[in-house]
A = this chain, B = another copy of it.
């Protein structure tokens, strides 16, 4: 059933006060879909609908809801109801919520959380934003190397209700992480065997201060269900689960794409961001690029005698700067993506430049021949055709060089390579293209400036 259909049905049942039927329908829905349904409903129906949810579903659906909806609910639920939710949802979801909610909502959340949890929340909140520490959950299965397989399975059976991921058990000694065992390995082994004999001792872990983007890359590389997070003394403090890593991956991709279009990334999605915030995230780069473009303006002014003589020269400016910009952004995009996926590194810069040079030769030859012919046929002006063909070759080669080297250099000096994308590259390439073009034109056409 599509969400629109579910929504229509829910509205109908609400209107006809068929609450038990509605409850039955909700019971058959997945938590993520219930969250979607809440988004579609009228605000004043939300509290009633929430109270119709089966108890065990309420907390689960709550963690799938948008921040906006969670805020609405926190403000309408009684303390008792809120406490039930807070007891049930996973700790890392609580922490995420606290980090993003306004102060009065946070106060209500904390008032309805037990003291033990509050202490842990405070500890997690102290990790830097976007670090593995802030992303992790402190709920994991912890076993000792002296345990038997049977005892370990028993331990999972008795503690797992509160653990987000039970499928990997971590072996610690004096709180230090010394090994891990998957539930699959446990199930394959004999009950009497010792954990020590079957555990994997070569455990990949991340530091609490590791950037979450790096954490996501580890997941991508190793296909883990969860990664243990250790502090500087190698003590196990939590785990990051694959679903959070997936979210980070998508967020990072969105952030890169946004930056590559000369915008400051916003936290929320398109519709939840106000027109004013959108304008704010776009104006800085636009202003900067607009003012940088005055450089190409001055170059044109410098050559104005040439186009007073040959007005046709002006007609080719958009085509040349456009082609240069496109060539440059093709190269820069591949670099930015390659850097993000760790497929390209700064040390490859000369290898990359040589490759881009060969590509530029191939591409520019085709472009120069096609456009040179077109101009010769259209205007019968061989000299002009020659100027454009020559300019195209020079511009394509230069813009490929600029496009491939700037992102790599940015990465090397710890700037975000995503900033070296189409908009900035185009502006720089514009300036170079116009300079090259007029230089070639004045020489070939014998114009004195």
* Interface residues in chain A, defined as those with a beta carbon under 8 Å from any beta carbon in chain B: 28-30, 32, 153, 156-157, 160-161, 166-167, 183-184, 187-188, 202, 204, 219-223, 225, 242-243, 246-247, 249-250, 253-254, 256-258, 260-263, 269-271, 275-276, 278-279, 282-283, 285-287, 289-291, 293-294, 296-298, 300-301, 304, 307-308, 311-312, 314-319, 321-323, 325-327, 329-330, 332-334, 336-338, 341, 343-344, 348, 351-352, 355, 358-359, 362-363, 366-367, 370-371, 374, 422-423, 426-427, 430, 434
- Partner among B167, B276, B314, B370 whose Cβ is within 8 Å of the Cβ of A167: B167
* Contact, CB under 8 Å: B257 / A257: yes
Chain B neighbourhood of A278, CB < 8 A: 355, 359
Closest 10 CB pairs of A and B: A261-B333, A293-B319, A223-B243, A279-B362, A297-B315, A275-B358, A304-B311, A296-B318, A300-B315, A253-B253
The chain B residue with its CB closest to the CB of A396 is: B286
14 additional A-B pairs beyond A220-B247, A262-B326, A293-B319, beta carbons within 8 Å, are A254-B341, A261-B334, A269-B343, A270-B352, A270-B355, A271-B343, A271-B344, A271-B348, A271-B351, A290-B322, A298-B315, A317-B317, A321-B321, A326-B423
- Partner among B32, B187, B301 whose Cβ is within 8 Å of the Cβ of A311: B301
- Residue of A32, A187, A287, A312 most packed against chain B (CB within 10 A): A187
Q: A246-B246, A290-B323, A338-B269 are in contact. Are A318 and B222 (CB under 8 A)?
A: no
* Contact, CB under 8 Å: B166 / A286: no
A286 and B324 alpha carbons, distance in the complex (Å): 9
CB distance from A286 to the nearest CB of B (A): 6
A325 and B276 alpha carbons, distance in the complex (Å): 21
A278 and B28 alpha carbons, distance in the complex (Å): 50
The chain B residue with its CB closest to the CB of A426 is: B322
CB distance from A307 to the nearest CB of B (A): 6
* Contact, CB under 8 Å: B202 / A29: yes
The chain B residue with its CB closest to the CB of A424 is: B326
Can you list 11 pairs linking A and B with CB atoms under 8 Å apart? Answer: A167-B184, A220-B250, A262-B330, A278-B355, A283-B363, A283-B367, A286-B330, A286-B367, A300-B314, A325-B325, A326-B426
Q: A225-B225, A304-B311 are in contact. Are A297 and B319 (CB under 8 A)?
A: yes
Chain B neighbourhood of A296, CB < 8 A: 318-319
Chain B neighbourhood of A271, CB < 8 A: 343-344, 348, 351, 355
- Residue of A254, A336, A344 most packed against chain B (CB within 10 A): A254
A161 and B318 alpha carbons, distance in the complex (Å): 63
A38 and B289 alpha carbons, distance in the complex (Å): 45
A271 and B434 alpha carbons, distance in the complex (Å): 32
Chain B neighbourhood of A427, CB < 8 A: 322
Chain B neighbourhood of A223, CB < 8 A: 32, 243, 246
Q: A257-B337, A258-B334, A319-B297 are in contact. Are A184 and B166 (CB under 8 A)?
A: yes
Chain B neighbourhood of A269, CB < 8 A: 338, 341, 343
Q: A161-B188, A246-B219, A318-B296 are in contact. Are A30 and B270 (CB under 8 A)?
A: no
A405 and B430 alpha carbons, distance in the complex (Å): 27
A286 and B400 alpha carbons, distance in the complex (Å): 13
The chain B residue with its CB closest to the CB of A203 is: B30
A355 and B273 alpha carbons, distance in the complex (Å): 10
* Contact, CB under 8 Å: A363 / B322: no
Chain B neighbourhood of A423, CB < 8 A: 325-326, 329, 422
- Partner among B28, B157, B282 whose Cβ is within 8 Å of the Cβ of A188: B157
Chain B neighbourhood of A348, CB < 8 A: 271
CB distance from A371 to the nearest CB of B (A): 6
The chain B residue with its CB closest to the CB of A366 is: B283
CB distance from A254 to the nearest CB of B (A): 6
